[in-house]
Amino acid sequence: MTNSVASRCLHDALIYGSEAELVASVVPFVRAGLAAGDRVLVSGSESQVALFREAVGDDPRVEFSDSHDHYQTPATALLWYQQLFDRDVSTTLRGIRSVGSVPYTLDPAADADWIRYEAMVNRVMAPYPFHGLCLYDTRTLPADLVTVARRTHAVLVTAGVRSAGSGYQEPKDVLLDIGPSTQRDPLEATSPILEIDGSSDLAGVRHEIYLAVRATELTVERADDFLAAFNEVAVNALTHGRPRVDVRLWCRPDRLYCTVTDNGPGISDPFAGLLSPHGHSDSTGMGLWMARELCDELTISSPPGGGCTVALSTGS
């Protein structure tokens, strides 16, 4: 197990401007994966999936899906790919090949998070036999997002041929250039149902969160997972940050959103809680990784002046 970008992960980009160029690279990529015994995943828009099905021959070994099924948020997409290897991949498979498009929206804040995702794939997936082909359509994407493909993919594909690209940056350098995420959950614009400031009483905080969560319409299983995730985050804040943490909880009948803020030195590692202990021998933030698996989404924000806010959410 290694943290080398060039270990077992291949993360390529296809920059194309026509359906013919798209098919000319995707079809040999898919067929090479099938010939190697890989699990092959192909996602895209409805029209893209139809195009791929026709070009590949609707081979039952290829798993087609809508892009939105797996690219709901950057954090959930990263977790999903790791779990494919940690939980679902049979030892008879050599690896996984994946074709897909990052769902850029042309909203700067949202797209910055997806640029971070593209950079993180190179680090997060490094230990796994993973070969991804990311699709960048020059007809619909502005030039600055097409440039992202070159910054976050060391290899570019043209007509099925892989070649070294130019402009590639190491994941940490990309993350430092972009800076921390500025995305805020819409619920933060409303009043939380629970506000706890300056607490060092983990048991007391946990009990108040428990009472609030039990009053929602979430299933017992989903509620228990959220409570377990909150516990990991709170313990982490009290152990590695400075005691006395602030907690905010927002509840809707079908969704929970919670922030836990401490006043410690912050978390400088941008990959904390993102690296699966099953694949990375150097993973840090084990409690945060466990929490990430137990809820729908977990994000970490550490401003330059210190302190750390971990936000976690779960829906029905």
| Annotated domain spans of the chain | 10-178, 186-315
Over residues 138-144, the mean pLDDT reads 95
Burial status of residue 80 (CB atoms within 10 A of its CB: 0-12, 13-18, 19 or more): middle
* CATH level 3 topology of 10-178: Rossmann fold (3.40.50)
Altogether, the residues listed in the chain come to a count of 316
pLDDT at site 233: 93
Per CATH, the number for 186-315 is 3.30.565.10
**39-89: pLDDT as tens digits:** 999 999 999 999 999 999 878 999 999 988 889 888 889 888 988 887 755
Instruction: Give me the pLDDT at residue 217, please.
Output: 86
CA distance 290 to 216: 23
95: its two tokens: 């690896």
Residue 281 has pLDDT above 90, yes or no: no
> Where is pLDDT greater, at 107 or 282?
107
Using a pLDDT cut of 90, give the percent of the chain over it. Answer: 53
Please give the Cα distance from 115 to 149 (Å, whole number).
9
Assess contact for 180 and 302: CB atoms under 8 A. yes
- Nearest Cα neighbor of 141 from 10, 311, 13, 241 is 13
Task: Name the average pLDDT for the chain.
Answer: 88
Of 185, 171, 187, which Cα lies nearest the Cα of 250? Answer: 187
**How many Å is the Cα radius of gyration of the chain?**
21
Contact criterion met (CB below 8 Å) for 234 and 206 = yes
- Structure token pair of residue 273: 């809680």
pLDDT at 2: 38
CB 249, CB 194: distance < 8 Å: yes
- DSSP 8-state symbol, 168: -
Q: Rounded to an integer, what distance in angstroms lies between the CA atom of residue 205 and that of residue 20?
A: 58
pLDDT in tens, 168-226: 999 999 988 888 777 788 999 999 999 999 888 888 899 999 999 988 888 899 999 99
Q: Give every CB contact of residue 25 below 8 A, 6+ residues apart in sequence.
A: 14, 16, 133, 157, 158, 159, 160
